[in-house]
Structure 1
Amino acid sequence: MRAQEITFLKLVQGDKQFQVPLYQRTYSWGTEQLQRLWEDVGELVDQHLSGDSTTPHFLGSVVLAPGQIQAGGVQRWLVVDGQQRLTTLMLAFTALRDHLKESGDLRGVDRVHRQILVNEFHEGLDHYRLLPTQADREAYTACIQSRAEAGGSDNIGAAYRFFRGAFAEGREAGDERWIGTVETVLKDLLSIVEITAEPGDNVYRIFESINNTGVGLSQSDLLRNYVFMLLPKRGERVYQELWLPMQQSLGPKNLELLVWLDLIVRGHYKTKQSEIYREQQKRLQPLAGNEDALQHEVAQLADRGRRFLRIVEPHRESSPALRAVLERLAMWGGQTHYPLALHLMDLVDAGNTTPDDAAQALLYVESYLVRRLICQTPTTGLNRIFMEAPKELETDRPAAEAVQRFLSSRRRRWPGNEELREAIRSKPFYWSGRPPQRSYILRRLEESYRPSEPVDFVKASISVEHVLPQRPAPAWFELLAKETEPNQTPQELHDLLVHTLGNLTLTGDNSKLSNHPFERKQQILESSALRMNLEIASAERWGKAEILERADRLTERAVELWPGPIGGIKPAGEEWPGWAELRSALVAMPSGTWTTYGDVAELIGSHPVPVGSFLGSNSAVIGAYRVLTAEGRISPSFRWPEGNDRLPPQEILMSEGVKFDPSGRAHRSQRLTAAELATLLGKDVTQPVSYDPLPDGEDRAAAERFRTQLREHWAEASDGVLAALDFWRRQGGYVNYGRYDETSCFPMLDAGTSERPHLMWPVGIYPVSGTVEVVFQYLKNRSPFDDTEQRRELLRRLNKIEGIELPEAKLELRPSFSVQAFAEHGDEICEVLDWFVHTAALDLARRA
């Protein structure tokens, strides 16, 4: 085998084709990996634009084996390892080509297409520079050929849409040189090690050996080995007295974090965690031969380790003020704030600031994180901001003032009081951040009432409750009907209010509150130990006015708890952040789907009218044609930009697979709701409260409630549903039930072992609303259904049944069909369930 370092452009140029063999898994990169690559690209672009010297970024290796070469044909290479990187970059270039096309740069389109994506003078499969596995081929070639179905719901489509969104976002923020610089970076500044096997090598054996290696040394292991190699005389004593106690107190993960943070607080803020050893080695190399200096370095690291331990275990901090804010940041979770927190702890221990001043500085950090979450400010670049802080803080000011000034910079997006107020009134807070962070904010708001007997939140079993229910009974809609605006339905008003902070509280009685009328909820809330619940219980009714009034009261408390930036006034002419989220949502939509102005408004915290106005004046926004009226019709006011020769929106949607009835209404099953849009954006969209299975399996009382509700509301389908559940039990599964008023049902399967359970369920059945949810969203994280083809096969089998029509574009969501399908097709549904169990059993045997 031979190896050489090469740029991506040089790797792919020429009449050649990279074929992904059948034994390779399908394309599997998700948002996390794509985001990491894009951040690396962004750093190189920034360096290039600022005139800094730019060294290529090492992307990894690609292992190739020569394939068949035909006279006059392309040179074929089998991709033994590295197909994820190759496919990702090809999709990035495909998105770049399509971005250039929309920008009118036809020469750039031609250049990217010919240089990177295709073998221009070859036809058929030889035309493509990369040929993925058969499972991915259709989705990939749809992107290369710019077919209507490009950007579907599988991982290939999702990656293409990710890069389309990244280019669109960059165009809004970057200067005119930006896109050209991105192309340069992708072609010439991503370094790949090309490893080429010799003819006759056993390709599968090579693949097997690469992917079955043992656990490698961590970055901190490599650093330790290097340091003690340089300490031949003092090594044993330094290890026993300094390194080993540090290693034992921190543990492997925190030690790895520490040696990275040590570089960051020294000013090496561009260092990635994968580059710790190389950067530390470079820093320590000049000290080789000086064991005094090296011992001092280890002692400094050990001191910093003790300070870091006070951050991750705040009870070790002696200052009450500093300990309190460190505890709150620990409850908030995450590691984003670690570089700045460690820098402040360094200052305290060096006597360069006081614990109280550091506590105030960390309060600004807490406020910055909380306000951004409430306002749903994009988290892109957040880690980088805190990594830059130790080097960028002004040193001639008190630490707290320096931190506040640093975070108040316009480009760091610390929301002011007015933006905070609008977000609390209108943003769907229930979809912000992670559930523990949402609970933390509500807990802090409750504590701001300063009750004489505060609740012990550590021991209490408390969850977030919607006062206006997610699934309201008719009486709630009658109340909302009195407050609707012209041309607004009670359901639309409900959707705009239900997830806002003004409608949310904390309770230990979630299952009791459920979707009861407000009068019944009042009775329960009146007995609550939480002051915010007593305040809600004192209201005479609960509608739009009360929710907005409470939102304003909570804003006053939030401003007091979490101080804002210096100035805090939004600059005139600055675009409202919700429009950026709108653009991201439309890019995230798979081909073959549509949404409504109301759904988009609910997602971004706006109203359908301004959403329509924005899209009307910005119809060049990617995916704008997918936003339809509440009835599923093309808006009469929709217009393509002048000079655009695209087909009418309905024709484009139909070419993607969206179905329209004769009157011009799009099929409801292909609509993406606000919750589904939020899911596609990576928001932690908690299931409606009816999904909360009882812990004890087949609870008899819950089972009887389910049967009673099913017979009451869907008598014709009840026998078919119950027969299917009995069939499921005979196949080795069991049935779980929800704990709320609508007693949902989940046919569960444990496809694991006693040591390693592997729970999954194909559907959730709701006996009142009469819907059967197919839970692709959860299956995509559970083997074997993490393979798109297996989920697609489940969808195909269900769609063969009359009355079931699940859109393929929702393979990562939770599409549903009517429980009525069990009335006449119960046996066919049982065949699908049997296939599901059999597929899971085969996977278990493979994993055993």
Structure 2
Amino acid sequence: MDSRTFTVQQIYQDRRQYRVPFYQRPYVWNRDDQWGRLWEDIRDKAEARLQGGKAIPHFMGAVVLEPQRKQGLLGVERHHIIDGQQRLTTLQYVLNALVHTLRAAGNDKLLALIDACLTNSNPETMEDVSVERFKLWPTFRDRKQYEESMTATSVDELRQRFPASFTQTGSLRKIGVAHPPALEAIMFFHEQMLDWVIDETEVEAVTRATALATAVLTDLSIVCISLGEEDDAQVIFETLNGHGAELHATDLIRNFIFMRAGTDADDLYSNLWSQFEAPIWSESQTRGRLSRPRLEWFVQTAVQAQTSEEIDVGRLYAGYRRFVDSAAGLHAAGAQLTMLNRYGEQYKALVTGAGSTPISVFGRRIAVWDASPTHALALRVATSSMSPDEQLEIYGCIESYLVRRAVCGLSRKNYNKVFAQQLKRLIDGELTTAAFRNALSSLSGEASRWPTDDEFRRQWIDGDAYPGRLDAAKLRAIFHRLETAMRTEKTEELVPLTLDSLDIDHILPKSWYSHWALPDGTTALAFDAVNAQPLRFSSAAIDSRTQAILDREDALPRIGNLTLVHLGVNRSLQNYGFGKKRDALFEHSNLHLNRALMKRDTWDEAAIVARGEALFEFATTIWPGPGTS
């Protein structure tokens, strides 16, 4: 390891290219956090040059470089930037902005000095002129806008190349546009430099431009740490960046993978990693109390699908390294990326529900059921040799298990263990559709059992569904599946069937007191219901009217009393008597869920039980229980 301090001119004057490796993050420095302070430092040094003061270099920090062995006579020297790519990239933008400023100030004599720090010479001896001519070559994600910005010969050409970023008067838009970072940086430094150079003072612009160029080239210094062959670039990168708040675990994982890539790194990135740079993978996804980029949850799930062992997302990078180090055949970058790609498309289908594959259908159906413990098993099933029908049968068992336990009010705390066991059986080659159903059917106890039809029916008919054991999203999902099952080939289909715009309604309303008579013909007040509740726990006798009030309150949250209605109906009628409510809310509904309601003249506790029974017949077909198929 060799450490030296260099000026900007010394860093860039040799025929050399600094490459940002694939595993590095894209350029992220900006006006508020870094550019503004850097410009102030440059301006101060330029002012000192004008005043003839002693030049005291401004220290910009350190960069870590890894020299690359040159193959053959052609080509430029290459150094990988292990740490410090933001500084070195920004300095290229500063130098580019300085070129535009010198031209505007009429100081062409210094252009050759600046250009020597931006462009490598002797293109005839390069292997790839389009790449090697640049002093710095960014990571794949930044290249297009970097190249377009850095090769523009004037500010007018920048305006032509990026018309969406400029106003009609030619200034950079301040709001409403996410500018390419290279363009925004160059324009920021150019505007600051030009304002300073043409300042209305006695000093000519040419002289001020010379002072500015001198400050940039010779008064900014950086410590360059050059690694030797015995130094481990990966360990150094992790040491420098592993505790930074800006890095995600998958940034370190990307580093870990591409540190093992050879000359095929470009192809591996383009063909096997670039898909993971899409916005969907950086979106935040929440599980429990933890929010992480979706890519982190995916990597965790992919490793678990491969091994059946749960990996702590809070220690994802360390867990991934252990996984690769212990896995036969996964040490090479290509093998790791192939494994991740095998699961990547399946995971995207699972979490988005897009498409018609079995795992897409499963993803849509379980989206609201807090089903992340099933994801690793789902990936393994999707990438197995099972036929689509066999996959759908496995997924159907999982969905039934989740729905039945939710309706019965059973805990989901043991789901990780339950589905990890089934995943291990699949990895060991022991899992068939019949074996999977038998395994779930054999589970017992509150924490794990798959509710039988008898238990499912009791809770479906009499349980507190909403409000209660199910939230609005879960209840709407149940109604979606019921509605789909109720439609036959002879009935009109909604393609695709969506109930998202419908609202959950209690047919017997929660505020039933004024318009819904009790069996004895009387009505009740809200405080009658409140006063009746303590009597449930009293040894005192309960009269028939009070019991009727309690029975009615019990019936409110049951599935038989719940349905979906359009948000646009007159909701002021929702608490009225059944006849008026039926005509206002259900008469124009095209849902099969509501067809039976249109034919009824009355609605009471017995009707709620009867409707629950009717819906349950569909439920057992949709979500068959243990021991059935």
TM-score by length of 1: 0.38
Residues 18-417 of structure 1 mapped to structure 2, 5 A cutoff = 215-231=245-261, 233-248=263-278, 250-252=280-282, 253-285=293-325, 293-317=332-356, 319=357, 323-330=360-367, 334-347=371-384, 352-393=385-426, 399-408=432-441, 409-411=443-445, 412-417=448-453
- How far residue 248 of structure 1 moved from its aligned partner, in angstroms, is 2.6
Give the match for residue 544 of structure 1: 605
1:514 aligns with 2:514: no
Inter-CA distance 443–286: structure 2 relative to 1 (3 Å threshold):
closer
The 3-state SS of whatever aligns with 1:385 is helix
CA offsets 1:793-829 (integer angstroms, 9 cap, x no match): xxxxxxxxxxxxxxxxxxxxxxxxxxxxxxxxxxxxx
Partner of 1:476: 516
Equivalent residues in 2 for 1:700-715 (5 A)?
Answer: none
Equivalence for 1:442: 479
Other structure's SS at 1:558 match? helix
Change in Cα spacing, 1:291 to 1:392, as seen in structure 2 (3 Å) is closer
In 1, the alpha carbon distance for the partners of 2:312 and 2:548 equals: 50
Mapping for residues 675-754 of structure 1, pairs under 5 Å: none
Give 1:784-803 correspondences, 5 Å limit: none
Report the Cα offset of residue 559 of structure 1. 0.3
The Cα shift of 1:512 comes to: 4.7
The amino acid across from 2:565 in the alignment is T
Are residues 294 and 467 of structure 1, via their aligned partners in 2, closer, same or farther at CA, if it must alter by over 3 Å? same
Partner Cα distance (1:311, 1:543) in 2: 42
Partner secondary structure for residue 315 of structure 1: coil
Contact 1:466 1:499 in 2 (8 A): yes
CA separation of 1:541 and 1:487: change in aligned 2, threshold 3 A: closer
The separation in 2 between residues aligned to 1:505 and 1:374, in whole angstroms, is 16
Equivalent residue for 1:490, pick from 542, 548, 554: 548
Task: Give the CA deviation at 1:240.
Answer: 3.0
Q: Give the direction of change, closer, same or farther, for the CA distance of 1:555–1:519 in structure 2 (3 Å limit).
A: same
List aligned pairs for 1:411-810, cutoff 5 A: 411=445, 412-430=448-466, 431-450=468-487, 452-455=491-494, 457-458=497-498, 461-479=501-519, 486=544, 488-508=546-566, 509=569, 511-524=571-584, 525-566=586-627
1:453-508 CA-to-partner distances (Å, cap 9, x unmatched) read 24565376211110111011334242477999858433312221000001001111
> Structure 1 residue 417: deviation in Å?
0.6
* Structure 2: distance between partners of 1:441 and 1:565: 19
If asked which structure has higher relative contact order (CA below 8 Å, sep 6+), I would say 2
Tell me if the contact between 2:460 and 2:612 (Cα under 8 Å) persists in the aligned partners. yes
SS in 2 for 1:476: coil
Q: CA contact under 8 A between 1:267 and 1:388: conserved in structure 2?
A: no
Rounded to whole Å, the distance in 2 between the matches of 1:345 and 1:224 is 25
Q: What is the DSSP-based 3-state SS (H/G/I as helix, E as strand, rest coil) of the residue aligned with 2:590?
A: coil
**Structure 2 CA distance for aligned equivalents of residues 433 and 375 of structure 1:** 10
| Partner residue, 1:731 | none
Aligned residue for 1:410, secondary structure, equals coil
Do the aligned residues in 1 keep the contact of 2:425 with 2:431 (CA within 8 Å)? Answer: no
> What secondary structure, in the 3-state scheme, does the structure 2 residue paired with 1:464 have?
strand
Give 3-state SS (helix, strand or coil) of 2:504's partner.
strand
**Distance in 1, Cα, partners of 2:404 & 2:335:** 41
1: CA distance between counterparts of 2:514 and 2:508? 12
Distance 1:285 1:410 in 2: 38
Q: Secondary structure at the match of 2:383?
A: helix
Question: Mind listing any 5+ residue stretches in structure 2 that lack a counterpart?
Answer: 1-242, 283-292, 524-541
**1:837 matched residue in structure 2:** none
Identity among equivalent pairs (%): 24
- Cα distance, 1:228 vs. partner? 2.1
1:808 maps to: none
By how many angstroms is 1:370 displaced? 1.2
Say if 1:388 and 1:482 are closer, same or farther in 2 by CA, change over 3 A: farther
Q: What is the alpha-carbon distance in structure 1 between the residues aligned to residue 327 and residue 611 of structure 2?
A: 62
**Residue in 2 that maps onto 1:650:** none
Q: Amino acid of the residue matched to residue 426 of structure 1?
A: D
> Is the CA contact (8 Å cut-off) linking 1:480 and 1:543 kept in structure 2?
no
Deviation of 1:398 (Å): 6.1
Q: Distance in 2 between matches of 1:334 and 1:291?
A: 29
CA distances 1:36-55 after superposition (whole Å, capped 9, x unpaired): xxxxxxxxxxxxxxxxxxxx
Residues 516 and 576 of structure 2 are in contact (CA less than 8 Å); yes or no, is this contact kept in structure 1? no
What does residue 33 of structure 2 align with? none
| Aligned residues between the structures | 349
* Aligned 8 A contact 1:230 1:291 in 2: no
What is the identity, as a one-letter code, of the residue corresponding to 1:560?
T
Aligned to 1:744: none
Distance in 2 (CA, whole Å) between partners of 1:221 and 1:386 is: 29
SS of match in other structure, 1:540: coil
The whole-number CA distance in structure 2 between the counterparts of 1:480 and 1:338 is: 53
Distance in 1, matches of 2:396 and 2:500, equals 26
Deviations 1:683-714 (A, max 9, x none): xxxxxxxxxxxxxxxxxxxxxxxxxxxxxxxx
CA distance in 1, matches of 2:590, 2:520: 29
**Contact preservation (8 Å) 1:480, 1:494:** no
- Distance in 2 (CA, whole Å) between partners of 1:531 and 1:511 is 21
Secondary structure in 1 matching 2:319: helix
For 1:298, the aligned partner's letter is: L
What letter is aligned with 1:307?
Answer: Q
Query: Tell me, what secondary structure is at the counterpart of 1:539?
Result: coil
Partner of residue 634, structure 1:
none
- Determine the C-alpha separation between the residues in 2 that align with 1:523 and 1:292: 68
CA distance in 2, matches of 1:261, 1:460: 29
Point out where structure 1 has 5 or more consecutive residues left out of the alignment.
1-212, 569-848
TM-score of the pair, normalised by structure 2: 0.51
Contact 2:578 2:601 (8 Å CA) reproduced: no
C-alpha displacement at 1:523, in angstroms? 1.7
Question: How far has the Cα of 1:345 moved from its partner?
Answer: 0.8
The CA RMSD measured in Å over matched residues stands at 3.1
CA–CA separation in structure 1 for the residues paired with 2:405 and 2:331:
46
Instruction: Sort the Cα spacing of 1:516 and 1:432 in 2 relative to 1 into closer, same or farther, 3 A.
Output: same
User: Counterpart of 1:628?
Assistant: none
Task: Find the aligned partners of 1:291 and 1:335 in 2 and give their Cα distance.
Answer: 26
Checking the alignment, whether the CA contact within 8 Å between 1:247 and 1:255 is kept in structure 2 is no
CA, structure 1 residues 391+324, in 2 after alignment: closer, same or farther (shift >3 Å)? same
Relative distance call for 1:383 and 1:292 in structure 2 (3 A) is closer
Paired letter, 2:397: Y
Q: Structure 1 residues 549 and 458, CA, compared in 2 at 3 Å: closer, same or farther?
A: closer
